[in-house]
Amino acid sequence: MVVERAGKEEASEVGSSVRGVRAKLFIVITILLLVQAGQAEEAGYELLWSYETDGRVYGVAISSDGSYIAAGSRDNKVYLFNRDGDLLWNYKTGDKVVGISITSDGSYVAAGSRDNKVYLFNRGGELLWSYEAGNWIRGVSISSDGSYVAAGSRDNKVYLFNRDRDLLRSYETGDNVLDISISSDGSYVAVGSSDNDDRVYLFNRDGELLWSYKTGDKVYSVSVPSDGSYVAVGSRDNKVYLFNREGELLWSYETGNAVEDISITSDGSYVAAGSRDNKVYLFNRDGDLLWNYKTGGGVDGVSISLNGSYVAAWSGDNKVYLFNRDGDLLWNYKTGNAVEDVSITSDGSYVAAGSGDNKVYFFANNKAIEEAKNAVELEKSRGFNVSEAESILSQAEDAFNSGDYSRATDLAEEAKSKAESIGMEASAATTAVNKAESIIFHERYRGFNVSEAESILSQAKDAFNSGDYSRASELADQAKPIALDIDGDGTPNDADFAPDINNYLIYTGVAFLVGLVVVSIASLKIRERRRLERQRLEDVGHRIEKEEKQRKEKMKQDILDAIEEVTGGEK
C-alpha cells in the first residue's frame, strides 16, 4: 500500500511537472507569437521621419510622388519638407493654419488660416500673394499645376483665384463653407456647407453655379476626381453620396454616424469614407460596399491613392491606418495624440500624417515588398523555380533600402506578378506532365511501344526542373498524342488494326500489290493477244501457201492437158 501511494504521489509530481512545463511552453510560444505579430504589423511600413512643430498639426498635403510634404499647424505656421524630412522653409501667418494643399509636383503650396487669409507660396517658400476674406478660411484646394486656387470661408463664401491672385469669382452660400475640392485642371469646384444650408455645390471655373443639392445635415466633406466627372460627399446625416457632374444623385449609403471625410480616385472608380461610427468604408462607382473596417475610434479622415490601390485613414484612437483595395489592414501606427489629417501619394508609396502631438509623420509603405515576398515564398513552397521573381524582389529591396520607394513599389509589384505568373505556368505544366505520364503508362501497360513519347516526356521533365514551365507544357502536350497513336497515322492505338505500323505504309503496300496484279493481268492479256495474232498470221500463211500450191498444181495440170491436146495424145 505504501509503495502504491508513493507511486501515485510520484506520478502526481511528474504530472504536475509536465503541466508546469506545458504552461511555461505555452507562455513562451504566446510571447513569441505576440512579438512576431508586432513585427508583422510593423513590417508593412517604415517611419522615415517625424518633425515636431510648436502646435497641433491640423493639415498635411503630399505631392504626387512624395517628394514634398506641406503642413499647417496651430503654431500659425506653414511648413514645407522634402522626402528626407529636411525642413525647406516655414512661414508664420497671423493665426492657426487649418487648410493646406499642394500641387502634383510640389511647385506651389496654398494655405488657409484663421487670420482670414488665403496664402500662395512657391516651392522656394516665397509668398506669391495673400488675400483677406471676411472670416477665417476653413479649406483650400489647388489645381494640379497651381493655375487655380479655391478657398472656402466662414464668411459663407467660396473664392476662386488664378495663380496671379486675380479673384475670378466669389459666391455666397447659405452658411459656413466646411470643405472644398477642385478638379485637377481647375474646371470644377465642389463645396460643402454648414447648418443653415446643408448643401453641396458644384461650380465651373468661371464661378457659375452648375447645381446644388440639399442633404439632411452639414456637408462635412467633398471630393472630386481629376476631371470633375463625379462629386463624392460625406454628411453629418450619416450618409455617403455620389453625384455625377450634372448633379444627378447616383447613389447614397447610410453609415452608423456622421461621415467626417471622403476621398475619390482620379477616375471616380472608388470612393473611401470615414465615419464617426469608427469605420472606414470603400465603395465602387456603382455604390457597392466593397468592405468596411472598424477602428478604435471615430474615423475623421481618409485619403485614397489615385488608382484606388491603397486607403489611408486616421481615427480617434490616435492611429494612422493603411489598407489595400481588398480591405486588408496593411499596418497601423499609433501617434502620441489624436491624428488631425492624413495624405497619401498617387501610387500609395508614401503616407503623411499630422497629429495633435504637434508632429508631422512621414511613412514609406513597403507592404508591396511584403506581399511580393509572400507570393514568392508561396510558389517556392510548392517546389517551383521562382529565381526570376526573386531577382526582381531583390532589386525592390535594394531600391527601398536606398530610399527610392516609388521604384521599390513598382519592382515589388512586378516581382509579385512574376511569382504569380510562374505559379500559374508551373501548375499548368505540372498538370500537363502528369497527364502525359499517365497516358504513356497506360499505353505501355497495354503493350504498345511508347519509347518516342517517353523521350519527349523526359525532355518535358528536364524543362520543368530547369524552370522553363512553358516549354515543359509544350513538350508534355506533344508527348500525349504520340503515346496515343504510336505509328502516327491518325488512328488511335486501340482502333488501329496494326498500331505498330503506320497504316499509310500498309495502304501503300496493298495499293502496290493491287497495281502489280493489275499490271500482270494486263501483261498476260497482251501476251495472249500477241499469241493469237501470231497464230492468226501463221494460219493465214499456211492457207496462202496451200492455195499457192494448189494453184501451181492446177497450172501444171492445165499445161499437161494442153500438151496432150496438141499432140493428140502422143507422148
Residues in the chain: 571
More confident residue, 37 or 317: 317
Q: How far is CA 210 from the centre of its chain?
A: 37
Which pLDDT score, from 0 to 100, does residue 345 have?
A: 94
Report, as an integer, the average pLDDT of 417-441.
Answer: 92
pLDDT, tens digit (0-9, with 9 covering 90-100), for 126-156 = 999 999 999 999 999 999 999 999 999 999 9
Which pLDDT belongs to residue 400? 80
**Banded pLDDT at 38 (limits 50, 70, 90):** very low
Q: Using the 8-state DSSP alphabet, how is residue 177 labeled?
A: E
pLDDT at 493: 65
For residue 1, the model assigns a pLDDT of 31
Read off the pLDDT band of 183 (50, 70, 90): very high
Flag whether 423 is in a domain. yes
Q: Are residues 394 and 467 in the same domain?
A: yes
Task: Give the residue with greater pLDDT, 281 vs 44.
Answer: 281
The confidence score (pLDDT) of residue 498 equals 55
DSSP one-letter code for 103: -
Task: Please say which residue of 462, 495, 528 terminates a domain.
Answer: 495
Question: Which residues, including other chains, have CB under 8 Å from residue 331's CB and lie 6 or more apart?
Answer: 41, 42, 43, 44, 45, 321, 322, 365, 367
How many DSSP H helices and E strands does the chain contain?
A: 7, 32
Q: Are residues 459 and 520 in the same domain?
A: no
Answer whether residue 35 shows pLDDT above 70.
no
Is 487's pLDDT higher than 80?
A: no
Residue 71 lies in a domain: no
Nearest to 272 by CA among 237, 322, 228, 319: 322
Compute the mean pLDDT over every residue in the chain, rounded to the nearest whole number.
86
Dist. CA 272–CA 341, nearest whole Å: 15
Same domain? For 513 and 466 the reply is no
For residue 31, what pLDDT is reported?
42
Both 392 and 466 in a single domain? yes
Domain ends where: 455, 470, 495?
Answer: 495
Which of 449, 469, 495 terminates a domain? The answer is 495
Do 517 and 534 have their domain in common?
A: yes
489 φ/ψ angles, rounded to the nearest 5 degrees: -100, 5
Domain count, the chain: 2
Q: Average pLDDT, stretch 367-394?
A: 89
Q: Are residues 466 and 429 part of one domain?
A: yes
Task: With respect to residue 77, please indicate whether it lies within any of the assigned structural domains.
Answer: no
Three-state DSSP class for residue 556: helix
Is 538 among the domain residues?
yes
CA 28-32-37 angle, to 5 degrees, is 150
378 and 488 share one domain: yes
Please tell me whether residues 478 and 567 are part of one structural domain.
no
Same domain, 507 and 488: no
Same domain, 376 and 491: yes
Q: What is the mean pLDDT of residues 298-314?
A: 94
Name which of 70-79, 182-191, 471-480 the model is least confident about: 471-480
Cell of 293: 473596417
Q: Are residues 441 and 547 in the same domain?
A: no
483 shares its domain with 532:
no
537 burial (CB, 10 Å; 0-12 / 13-18 / 19+) is exposed
pTM: 0.67
**DSSP secondary structure, 209-265, as one string:** EEEEEE-SS-EEEEE--TT--EEEEEETTSEEEEEETT--EEEEEE-SS-EEEEEE-
Give the amino acid at 89: W
Summarised one tens digit per residue, pLDDT across range 76-100 is: 999 999 999 999 999 999 999 999 9
Mean of the pLDDT values across residues 169-192? 93
Q: Is 60 exceeded by the pLDDT of residue 34?
A: no
Is the residue at 288 inside a domain?
Answer: no
CA-wise closest residue to 372 among 417, 310, 333, 316: 417
pLDDT at 508: 67
Residue 410 lies in a domain: yes
508 falls within a domain: yes
User: What is the C-alpha radius of gyration for the chain, rounded to an integer number of angstroms?
Assistant: 48
Domain of residue 534, residue span: 503-571
The pLDDT assigned to 361 comes to: 97
**CA gap 83, 534 in Å, rounded:** 117
Q: Per-residue pLDDT tens for 316-366?
A: 999 999 999 999 998 999 999 999 999 999 988 899 999 999 999 999 887
